[in-house]
Amino acid sequence: MANKLEIIQLSKQYGDFWALSNVSFTLEPGVTGLLGANGAGKSTLMKLMTDHMPRTSGQILWNGTDIVKLGRKWRELVGYTPQLQGVYDDFTAKRFLYYMGALKGMKRKDIKEQTEQMLEAVNLSHAAHKKIGTYSGGMRQRVLLASSMLGRPQVLILDEPTAGLDPEERIRIRNDIAELAQDRIVLLATHVVSDIACIAKNVLLIRGGKLIAFDTPQGMLANAEGKIGEFSGTYGEIRLLQEQYPNGEIAQRRSGFVLRVAADPLPEGCVPVYDNLTLEDVCHLYLKGDRQYG
Amino acid sequence: MAELARLLLSPKRLVILIMAAVINLALFSGYCRDKQEQSIAKYSTGMQSAASAKSRENQKLQQYLEKDYPDYLKYVEEQAAAQSILSGLTKQSGFIDRNLKKTAADYSRLEGITLTAGESRGTLAVADYPITDYLLLIAPILLVLELLADADSAAGDLTRSTRQGRVPLCAWRIAAVALNAAASVLLLYGGNILYTCIFYGDPGLTRALQSIPEYQVCVHRITVGGYLLAAGCLKTLAAVILALLIWLVLSRFHVILGWLISGIWIGASFLLFRLIVPTAGVNHLKFLNVFAALDADIFFTQYCNLNWFGYPAGFLLNTLVFCIILLTVAVLLCLLRIGHAYPAKTGEKLADLSDRLHRFLTRHLPVHSLFGMEGWKLMIAQKGLFVLLAAGVMGFSLWKEIHVYVPVNSDTERFYSQYSGEVTKENIERTAYIVIGEMKSLKNAKVALAKAYLRKAAPRDIDRIKQGIMKSESELYLYKNLLNTMLMLAKYTRETGRPAWFIQQNAYMIFFQDSAAEHRCSMVLLLWMIFTFSGIAAYDNRYDTAMLLRSTRNGRAGLLTAKAGWILLLTLIASFGLHGVYLAHFFTDAEFAMLDAPAQSLALFRDLPFSVSMRGILIGYLFVRYLIALVIAAGIYAVSRFSRTPEKARMTAMVIFLLPSALAESGIEQLQMLNCVGLLSFPIA
């Protein structure tokens, strides 16, 4: 039977502010993309899923058992990559992985073996004995990814693992994640929508602490049909139109300039687009007005 | 100018200066109090009162001022003349002859100098205390390291791209290093002078320096105040040169090579200054040395000329010229190599060496366990090993400086050597016989005195009998006391069933008393704890690893246990080691009598409800001090837990734990409640 992680009516309140409100969904093996603007509640959701903070209400069940009840056993099953690149500058990559292995309670032999494998997997074997302080942002991110994979966890929670990476490194890490997700649950939070579009089996959209949508990328795209459209005109005309639709995105086509707008219903004069719809458009549709996607 | 203000008035820099001053004050006040306690103990050890010893000292000083010093000047002149004649007869010329003439001329300038008696202990303490010399280097060197980090950052590229961002900026930075060194000397060295003025009294700054016997050989017409000022200036000069040269070397070479070069140069200079005697043929290496300027005191407590191609030159002049040349070269090189030239490309080969070292350590150091890895973080990544080493060096230095004086009375010692141990009926009877004997001899002496008065004996005979009576009275008092103690111990044993032996208690009582020497050990322990444990949790905070660590199986209780384990272990080593420094002196300078005796033998432990030997009590006492150290370590951990970086944690811990302790140790009674050093010493007698 496949593993299952159920989030049921999960809420978190800070004072009067609800960071997360009655969120429910179920994760199964494969990549699930988590999209939302800054402050939408993504990090709070991840903190609750790693049992880093107490929840206000709701449940998180791993194959039917609450993760708080599972305690250390749950943390044995989880691999986590934080957003802030929390790695020690004075450590070498190898020592850092040994350290994480020790924290995960792995056996010495396994730590040694898996450290070599993970460094190889994230292409860091050549720099294994260099101090992390000398690494680029991408290399640090790969160290963190390697550390989250140590101990072969069943659930991987990755908070913006491709932030600050160059395109080549991003593609490489994206492929690694897709590979990992074959037999485990991967929750991938990111601002880079194209990362999710390529590898996600499901997408979670969060706004203001509420779950807006939880579907497959195809389902979301189908749902957005008829709600994405474009105005055409000269640059001056398009600029004038953008004052009316500040969430619209200016693009240049062979025919001239267009303003791509996501709205339900579409405004008058806006021609619906049915081809080349992207998850970016879906985000514009659902998350418009939020800081990141505004 | 803006750069000068940015560097000198930044809160971080001011905090570093203030903290260095606080640490220095804490250590120096302990040194002064210990010195004073040692001299009092020394007087009482010889069974003479402190007042009578002080009056003898004053007599000696008066003799020095009125007779010995003028005689000394005359002696130098005569010796110079005689040696000059001899060298003329033996046809010796050149350096020796010229040196004799110069010596005579130098001392002849001092004729007619007015010497004045006054308080000299403060000046001597300031001159003798070496730790301040090293502490005052900290602030300028830290500033230089900050400038190096600045150059490596994006801010460095930004500033270099501006019009004033190269040589002018470098010049302002050199000025900032110099002013920082001056401020450091003023705060630390000036703080010491101020403290001694309060602690010992007016040092008589306007007196001629030669009024202090230790400065008898000084050839400069200078007052005590002038000497302190000159020493301060020399120390500033040395600090600036050291900081600039370190800056220069580290900015042009790879960090490992840079520190290696700096370390070798500093180490060699230090050793040459320390090991070469002033009159050696190679004394140029001693005095053409930045450490000679840092010490400064040597130019006023010794006299020496350097041989330059047969011509003598005063050692102070040599050092001054050398330091000014070195400073000029350092400033010019800094302007050219740091300000003007392109940033240095540091060696790839050395970076490779660093990688190899890490590979070697990863392979050979068994640190795969969580406990081991936490130790790595604490001792290697956060340089805890160096702090431990520094504490060891300070502990060794304390071992050299501390002395324990236990009052010794030969009569009492003889008695204790015969009757120490279990209180037996036989011993009580024998002591009672001694007391009766003393009573009889006192009675006989009194009868003899009465008869002497009756027969109108010579006053000398009467005085002799009176002295005999006084001696008998004091002996009777002593033996009566000893007998009473024996009887009391016997009664205690009879009533409680717990044994209490008759033992010499002096060493024990001094050990369990409050002492400045023990406070000095505790101060080093407190400093060590602050510097070692401040980063224990703040290091994780700096890198925002809390969530990552807590998401792992052992990232909560396991991690805390590993950290607690290191606190327990390291505090055990440091606490037993540093408190042991003082304890060990009771086995070398004095002696604990009968370590196997029951603790109840001491009045201090008579209420103990269990049986334990004195040896056990000593170990238990160290253990209690260890527990107190653990409580303070836990406090430092709490500070670290809620601090953003180890540096901030260190500063906060210093403000909470060190500052009140340092001020309380310096004599502010209102802060005794917050005195961690007093708490760590835990006096019970």
pLDDT value of residue B654: 92
Work out the minimum CA distance from B351 to partner chain A, whole angstroms: 9
Put simply, the answer to whether B552 touches A112 (Cβ < 8 Å) is: no
Are A268 and A123 part of one and the same domain? Answer: no
Dist CA B529 CA B532 (whole Å): 5
Selecting from A85, A88, A103 the residue whose C-beta is nearest the C-beta of B552 gives A103
Are B277 and B202 part of one and the same domain? Answer: yes
According to DSSP, the residues that pair with A232 across neighbouring strands are: A258
Put simply, the answer to whether B373 touches A99 (Cβ < 8 Å) is: yes
Are A142 and A270 part of one and the same domain? Answer: no
- Torsion sign, CA atoms B595, B525, B130, B667: negative
pLDDT value of residue B44: 62
DSSP code per residue over B70-132: HHHHHHHHHHHHHHHHHHHHTT--THHHHHHHHHHHHHHTTTTPPP-----HHHHHHHH--HH
Are A144 and A201 part of one and the same domain? Answer: yes
Are B282 and B186 part of one and the same domain? Answer: yes
Put simply, the answer to whether B554 touches A84 (Cβ < 8 Å) is: no
End position of a domain, from candidates B462, B496, B530: B496
Contacts of A89 in chain B (CB under 8 A): 543
Residue A281 lies in a domain: no
Residue A286 lies in a domain: no
Total count of domains within chain A:
2
Put simply, the answer to whether B543 touches A157 (Cβ < 8 Å) is: no
Selecting from A50, A76, A100 the residue whose C-beta is nearest the C-beta of B547 gives A50
pLDDT value of residue A292: 43
pLDDT value of residue B45: 53
Domain that residue B579 falls in: 506-681
SS3 label, residue A264:
coil
What are B132-163's pLDDT values in tens digits? 999 999 999 999 988 888 887 777 778 778 88
According to DSSP, the residues that pair with A250 across neighbouring strands are: A259
Contacts of A131 in chain B (CB under 8 A): 354, 358
Are B184 and B222 part of one and the same domain? Answer: yes
pLDDT value of residue B115: 83
Dist CA B24 CA B37 (whole Å): 20
Dist CA B250 CA B259 (whole Å): 7
Q: Do strands A202-207 and A210-215 pair parallel, antiparallel, or not at all (unpaired)? A: antiparallel
Are A178 and A208 part of one and the same domain? Answer: yes
Selecting from B362, B546, B552 the residue whose C-beta is nearest the C-beta of A92 gives B362
Contacts of B562 (CB under 8 A, 6+ apart): B370, B371, B373, B374
Are A17 and A64 part of one and the same domain? Answer: yes
Are A37 and A128 part of one and the same domain? Answer: yes
Which tokens sit at A148? Answer: 């989250």
Work out the minimum CA distance from B551 to partner chain A, whole angstroms: 6
Contact between B501 and B594 under an 8 Å Cβ cutoff? The reply is: yes
DSSP class of residue B344 equals P
Put simply, the answer to whether A75 touches B358 (Cβ < 8 Å) is: no
Which among A189, A180, A129, A123 is positioned nearest to A155, based on CA atoms? A180
Dist CA B664 CA B509 (whole Å): 24
Put simply, the answer to whether A98 touches B381 (Cβ < 8 Å) is: no
Residue B487 lies in a domain: yes
Are A107 and A239 part of one and the same domain? Answer: no
Dist CA A269 CA A232 (whole Å): 9
DSSP code per residue over A278-294: -HHHHHHHHHTTSTTT-
Which among B396, B643, B634 is positioned nearest to B524, based on CA atoms? B396
pLDDT value of residue A291: 43
DSSP class of residue B347 equals P
Contact between B21 and B191 under an 8 Å Cβ cutoff? The reply is: yes
According to DSSP, the residues that pair with A259 across neighbouring strands are: A231, A250
pLDDT value of residue B48: 54
Residue of B nearest to A156 (CA): B551
pLDDT value of residue B366: 64
DSSP code per residue over B127-177: HH--HHHHHTTHHHHHHHHHHHHHHHSHHHHHHHTSTTTTHHHHHHHHHHH
Which among A214, A145, A228, A227 is positioned nearest to A179, based on CA atoms? A145
Selecting from A91, A94, A104 the residue whose C-beta is nearest the C-beta of B552 gives A104
Put simply, the answer to whether B544 touches A112 (Cβ < 8 Å) is: no
Are A132 and A49 part of one and the same domain? Answer: yes
Residue A288 lies in a domain: no
Put simply, the answer to whether A98 touches B373 (Cβ < 8 Å) is: yes
Selecting from B369, B380, B552 the residue whose C-beta is nearest the C-beta of A100 gives B552
Residue B530 lies in a domain: yes
Dist CA B311 CA A217 (whole Å): 94
Work out the minimum CA distance from A22 to partner chain B, whole angstroms: 23
End position of a domain, from candidates B496, B514, B537: B496
pLDDT value at A293 more than 50:
no
Q: Locate tokens 């040169």: which residue?
A: B241
Q: Is residue B667 left, alpha or beta, with left meaning phi > 0 and alpha meaning psi from -120 to 50?
A: left
Selecting from A105, A130, A144 the residue whose C-beta is nearest the C-beta of B554 gives A105
Work out the minimum CA distance from B334 to partner chain A, whole angstroms: 27
pLDDT value of residue B213: 87
- Phi and psi for A44 in degrees, rounded to 5? -60, -45
Burial of A6 (0-12, 13-18, 19+ CB in 10 A): middle
Q: Is residue B643 left, alpha or beta, with left meaning phi > 0 and alpha meaning psi from -120 to 50?
A: beta
Are A253 and A203 part of one and the same domain? Answer: no
Domain that residue A147 falls in: 5-216
Rounded mean pLDDT, A15-23: 92
pLDDT value of residue A294: 33
- Whether the complex's predicted ipTM is more than 0.85 is answered with no
Which among B683, B573, B668 is positioned nearest to B630, based on CA atoms? B573
pLDDT value of residue A84: 61
Are A153 and A272 part of one and the same domain? Answer: no
Residue B159 lies in a domain: yes
Which tokens sit at B149? Answer: 């980090």
Residue A287 lies in a domain: no
Q: How many CB atoms lie within 10 A of CB B300?
A: 22
**Quick check: A228 contacting B, CB < 8 Å?**
no
What are A234-264's pLDDT values in tens digits? 888 888 888 888 878 888 888 888 888 888 8
pLDDT value of residue B562: 96
Residue of A nearest to B352 (CA): A130
Are B178 and B258 part of one and the same domain? Answer: yes
Contact between A58 and A8 under an 8 Å Cβ cutoff? The reply is: yes
Q: Which residue has the higher pLDDT, B277 or A84?
A: B277
Residue A221 lies in a domain: no
What are B163-194's pLDDT values in tens digits? 888 898 999 999 999 999 999 999 999 999 99
Which among A148, A188, A149 is positioned nearest to A170, based on CA atoms? A188
CATH number at residue A190: 3.40.50.300
Residue A293 lies in a domain: no
Dist CA A99 CA B206 (whole Å): 64
Put simply, the answer to whether B550 touches A129 (Cβ < 8 Å) is: no
Are B439 and B558 part of one and the same domain? Answer: no
Q: For chain B, list residues with pLDDT below 70.
A: 43-53, 84, 86-93, 344-352, 366
Dist CA B272 CA B281 (whole Å): 13
- Phi and psi for A260 in degrees, rounded to 5? -90, 125
Are B479 and B516 part of one and the same domain? Answer: no
Residue B294 lies in a domain: yes
Best of B370, B552, B559, B644 to disrupt the A interface (most A CBs within 10 Å) is B552
Half-sphere exposure of B340 (CA within 13 A, CB side): 7
Are B158 and B303 part of one and the same domain? Answer: yes
DSSP class of residue B342 equals P
Put simply, the answer to whether B368 touches A98 (Cβ < 8 Å) is: yes
Best of A83, A94, A104, A129 to disrupt the B interface (most B CBs within 10 Å) is A129
Q: Quick one: what percent of chain B has pLDDT higher than 70?
A: 95
